[in-house]
Amino acid sequence: MPATPFTEPAKKHLGQHFLHDRSYVDRIVQAVGPVLDPQSGERLVEIGPGQGAITFPLLDRHGALTVIEFDRDLIAPLTEAARAHGELTVIHRDVLKVDFTELADGVKNRIRLVGNLPYNLSSPILFHVLDHAPVVRDMVFMLQKEVVDRMAAPPGSKVYGRLSVMLQAYCRVEALFIVPPGAFRPPPKVDSAVVRLVPRDASEVGIDDPALFARVVRDAFGQRRKTLRNALSQVCDAAAITAAGIRPELRAEQLPVADFVRLANALTTDAATRDTGTMPAER
């Protein structure tokens, strides 16, 4: 991969750590999977291309790539270096302000996402992408290993929390491999890891009210030492939790994702019943 025309050092305030170890670059490109079928209408999008470590191999493999880069100093060298590899489309914008649904042209085409996410923004980016999950086919991201551990954590784990439940409710999450600090310039102080996320179909997700579901999960984990009865006191009472088939004396980290979905849906049904003044149909 080219050492030039990139002359700017990594910017600490943007959380930049540029991958340089080709063996890990190759593993990430392999994880992205087969070459896009030109007839599929799918678009490959990289978040945070940096100095192009992943960008140029992806261009070599796929021929075309859209990248989202916030650092204006990287735009010109990326564009210049990409000419030898394929067709590069650069979106100079904060990724949190990118409308991925618009980028995918509604639901006509889906996008595939890849990227080395800045550690200081990884959770906000993940939640932002979740808002556009219906138009995303899959994602291969590199993040701080601690974050990937939380994303893939099972119930009962010390790191199972809001991020785990929200991502696993909407996506299949698979931790792939660890990337050591020495694979980057400058090296971060922590290990990184690569993860694959595949959004679930709406019928598989089965969440009736996404906003209420998000609030239930947020409040449940707001104070981890509290029982559900106490943590969710602003959302529902113990009787409503029991009616959903869940023990109110449990703590949030003990509850599987499916139970969070069931509880939120039960509360949605109860709210609809109160609003209409009718009884729900027998099941």
The DSSP secondary structure of 218-230, one letter per residue, reads HHHTTSTTSBHHH
Residue 60 annotated as binding site: no
Binding residue per annotation — 17? yes
Question: Does residue 69 have a known ligand-binding role?
Answer: yes
Same domain, residue pair 232 and 126: no
CATH number for the domain spanning 257: value is 1.10.8.100
226 and 261, same domain (yes or no): yes
Q: How distant is the alpha carbon of residue 173 from its chain centre?
A: 9
Query: Tokens standing for 231?
Result: 């943590």
Helix (H) or strand (E) holding 65: strand 64-69
Contact by Cβ (8 Å): 257, 158: no
176 is annotated as contributing to ligand binding: no
Contact between 193 and 145 under an 8 Å Cβ cutoff? The reply is yes
DSSP 44: E
CA distances from 66 to 42, 113, 137, 139 (A): 11, 10, 15, 14
Residues 191 and 259 in one domain: no
Going residue by residue through the chain (283 aa), what tens digit of pLDDT does each one get? 444 555 455 445 545 567 889 999 999 999 998 877 655 778 999 999 988 899 999 999 999 999 999 989 889 999 999 999 999 999 999 999 999 999 998 767 889 999 999 888 999 999 999 999 999 999 999 999 999 999 999 999 999 999 999 999 999 999 999 999 999 988 889 999 999 999 999 899 999 999 999 999 999 999 888 999 999 999 999 999 999 999 999 999 999 999 999 999 999 988 766 655 454 443 3
Range of the domain at 27: 12-202
**Beta strands 192-199; 171-179: pairing state:** antiparallel
Q: Domain total for the chain?
A: 2
Amino acid at residue number 176: L
Rounded to two decimals, the pTM is 0.88
Asked if 84 and 195 sit in the same domain, the reply is yes
Residues 232 and 158 in one domain: no
Same domain, 232 and 187: no
- Does 19 count as an annotated binding residue? yes
